[in-house]
Amino acid sequence: MNQRPYIDPTSAAAEAFNTPKPAEAPAAWQQASNRPRSTPRRVQRPKEAPRTGYFAAHWRGEHSLARSYWLNNFLVATPLATALTALMSWISVKGDSLQVSAIVVLVGFPLLIALNVWCLVGAWRAARNYLHDHGSALWGWLARISLVLGTLQLAASVIFGFVPSLGEYWQMARGIDPIGQAKFTLSPDGRSLRLEGVIGMGDGERLRTLMASEAAQGLKRVELVSPGGRVREAERMAEALKERHQEARAVGTCASACTLVFLAGSPRHLAPEAQLGFHRASTGTYNPVFEELANQELAKTYRRLGLPEPMIEKTLNTPARSMWFVPREDLQAYSLIAPSPRTMAVALPAAGAPLADFDDALRVHPVWAALDKRNAGTIEAVAKRMHAARVAGASDEDVQSASIAPLAAQMPGLVQGTDGQLRRRYVQIVGDQLKALRTPAKPGTRPGCRDLLDGRLSAREQLPVELQAREAAWLLDAARGTPPRWQPKPPTAIEIEVLDRSVGTAAMGMLARLWADAPDAPATAVGATCDPVIAMLDRLPAQTPARRELAERLLFHAR
């Protein structure tokens, strides 16, 4: 055990022993742990001066995020992309200056793609450097998200807008419209001009030139059969028709841009089998802003042409790939076309009108058009008789009556060649006609119903308008029905026996002379009435279905 030696506290040795020794310096690790830490400072990336110019510096991401994103990307590329997209929309909808516009697109779109790639890549790299330099994460990631969305939009424009239309733009740049052009056919007499097919580049000027030509000096109407096409060209056609107050007649399907031409006509006629189709415009750019702008322009054009607001609204709500075919009743309700005639009467041309005008008036009448389609030459025969009556100085009533004789020649075939349901309708109409004419016009004279049964066509002029309208509606349905594949067979002896026992011996051929066209037929006695015939027709509904159908068929067969 070591013991410290005794030292006299008064001695010098004690003083030296009690003197404190200097403290040893702490270790290095203790010095680092005890030193107060300083706040970390943002380290700025040393900026090198651009070696290859402004564009290369942006491409490498050496510009600030604010300059790369807001200046280069937002204020430069976006307006250019918007302008070129607007040009493409204008081409698709208006079709004005197609060749020049297509050249601009072919040259400008690749340059726009290159500019967008330069902007997007440089801004993305600037955002990356900004985050690496401890910039705000919020702004850095917002910029990146915006750039991703911009890249997707650029890809969609290229894949769905530019690439599929590249061939079309190339054709337009060479002066060829890829959708084609309309075909114009002027009739030999120069009275009608037929527009058929797609409305394409230059068709508006072609129509105007043709209408102003010497061959079309007597032009009366423009006939339309078109699925549509370039809106701007259709507007030019509409302007040409309005300047000349030209009649427009749709003779087939007139849809999309074709409706602009139709609405410009004065007057407007819709052939019996024609139809009008409307839908919203499409720019083909998949840009909702430009789609909406194009359709607002389309709505303004329709308003100038007199299309009512409910139809404009329906048109804008119909997708571009669909079609809204307007019912004829709606067109008549809005006075876009003339109401359908209720009877067989037609709008007579003015005095001194040529034969062709009577032909035109008959062809816009749905019943006469249907009869002519079933039996070719009907309208030609009727027009000749009406024109001859007019030349002879006949009154309007007599001119209208001149059309009945050619119709009478077809009636037996229509009645016998139709189905049982339509024949039953006609028997009911005849019964009501007989009842309407059963009272003589004057005491002691023959009733008009006897003249009707004897085949005197002049008796039909006495029929009420309502019954004439019912007969015209029946004629339209019968003419549009499917003709029989074979001629009706004559009644057999058994059928005649059944008819005689069930209905009566007078039923056979009772209505056979309704359309005999026999003005000189021997007159029935003055006191004769139609009551037996009317009574028999009233008893038919009480028969069994088979006997009733047999009776209705044999009523028109002479013994």
- Written in H, E and C, the secondary structure of 157-170 is HHHHHHCCCHHHHH
| Closest C-alpha to 551, from 497, 513, 484 | 497
What are 51's strand-pairing partners?
none
Q: How far is CA 95 from the centre of its chain?
A: 18
Tell me the three-class secondary structure of 309-347, residue by residue: HHHHHHHHCCCCCCCEECCHHHHHHCCCCCCCCCCCCCC
Q: What is the pLDDT confidence band of residue 204, given thresholds at 50, 70 and 90?
A: very high
| Closest C-alpha to 481, from 397, 418, 430, 531 | 418
Kindly state the average pLDDT of the residues 272-300. Answer: 83
pLDDT, tens digit (0-9, with 9 covering 90-100), for 420-475: 899 999 999 999 999 999 988 677 778 889 999 998 988 898 999 999 999 999 99
| Closest C-alpha to 529, from 445, 447, 436, 444 | 447
Q: Which one-letter amino acid corresponds to residue 78?
A: T
Q: What's the confidence (pLDDT) of residue 165?
A: 77
Q: How far apart are CA 223 and CA 258, in angstroms?
A: 11
| Closest C-alpha to 276, from 344, 223, 338, 227 | 227
Q: Using CB atoms within 10 Å of the CB of residue 320, give its burial: 0 to 12 exposed, 13 to 18 middle, 19+ buried.
A: middle
Q: Which one-letter amino acid corresponds to residue 500?
A: D
H or E stretch at 355: helix 355-363
Write down the domain spans for the chain: 54-173, 183-333, 347-402, 416-554
Q: How far apart are CA 230 and CA 275, in angstroms?
A: 20
Residue that wins the pLDDT comparison between 40 and 91: 91
Q: How far apart are CA 22 and CA 1, in angstroms?
A: 28
Instruction: Evaluate if residue 28 carries a pLDDT over 70.
Output: no
> Using an 8 Å Cβ cutoff, are 432 and 462 in contact?
no
Instruction: Evaluate if residue 41 carries a pLDDT over 60.
Output: no
Helix (H, G, I), strand (E, B) or coil at 249: strand
Residue that wins the pLDDT comparison between 123 and 267: 267
> Using an 8 Å Cβ cutoff, are 233 and 240 in contact?
no
- Out of 54-68, 160-174, 325-339, 495-509, the most confident range is 325-339
Q: What is the pLDDT confidence band of residue 490, given thresholds at 50, 70 and 90?
A: confident
Instruction: Evaluate if residue 207 carries a pLDDT over 90.
Output: yes
> Using an 8 Å Cβ cutoff, are 506 and 531 in contact?
no
| Closest C-alpha to 229, from 194, 254, 193 | 254
| Closest C-alpha to 531, from 424, 440, 411 | 440
Q: How far apart are CA 422 and CA 474, in angstroms?
A: 8
Helix (H, G, I), strand (E, B) or coil at 555: coil
Q: How far apart are CA 315 and CA 281, in angstroms?
A: 9
Q: How far apart are CA 173 and CA 285, in angstroms?
A: 19
Q: How far apart are CA 89 and CA 224, in angstroms?
A: 27
Residue that wins the pLDDT comparison between 90 and 374: 374
What are 199's strand-pairing partners?
229
Which residues are CB-neighbours of 91 under 8 A, at least 6 positions away? 98, 101, 102, 105, 172
pLDDT, tens digit (0-9, with 9 covering 90-100), for 230-269: 888 999 999 999 999 999 999 999 999 999 999 999 999 9
Kindly state the average pLDDT of the residues 143-171. Answer: 79
Residues 452/555/366/275 CA torsion (nearest 10 deg)? 160
Provide the sign of the torsion angle of the four alpha carbons 51, 54, 55, 60, taken in this order.
positive
Kindly state the average pLDDT of the residues 377-402. Answer: 93
Q: How far apart are CA 254 and CA 276, in angstroms?
A: 5
pLDDT, tens digit (0-9, with 9 covering 90-100), for 53-93: 777 887 877 778 777 777 777 777 777 777 766 666 666 55
H or E stretch at 514: none
Q: Which two tokens stand for residue 512?
A: 């056979």
Q: How far is CA 14 from the centre of its chain?
A: 122
Q: What's the confidence (pLDDT) of residue 27?
A: 59
Q: Which residue has the tokens 């009501």?
A: 432
DSSP β-ladder status, 268-270 and 247-255: parallel
C-alpha distance across the termini of the chain, in Å: 165
**21 secondary structure, DSSP code:** P
Of the ranges 117-131, 359-373, 493-507, 512-526, which one carries the lowest mean pLDDT score? 512-526
Give the Å distances, CA to CA, from 87 to 110, 302, 338: 14, 22, 40
- Predicted structure pTM score: 0.69
Q: What's the confidence (pLDDT) of residue 114?
A: 82
Q: Which two tokens stand for residue 56?
A: 């290369």
Q: Does domain 183-333 have CATH number 1.10.3720.10?
A: no
Helix, strand, coil shares, percent, the chain, to 5: 55, 5, 40
Kindly state the average pLDDT of the residues 535-553. Answer: 92
Backbone angles phi, psi at 439, to 5 degrees: -90, 125
Q: Which two tokens stand for residue 325?
A: 């075919």
Q: How far apart are CA 150 and CA 120, in angstroms?
A: 8
Q: What is the pLDDT confidence band of residue 176, given thresholds at 50, 70 and 90?
A: confident
Residues 282/285/288/292 CA torsion (nearest 10 deg)? -40
Of the ranges 71-80, 170-179, 228-237, 379-388, which one carries the lowest mean pLDDT score? 71-80
DSSP β-ladder status, 183-186 and 192-196: antiparallel
pLDDT, tens digit (0-9, with 9 covering 90-100), for 65-75: 777 777 777 77
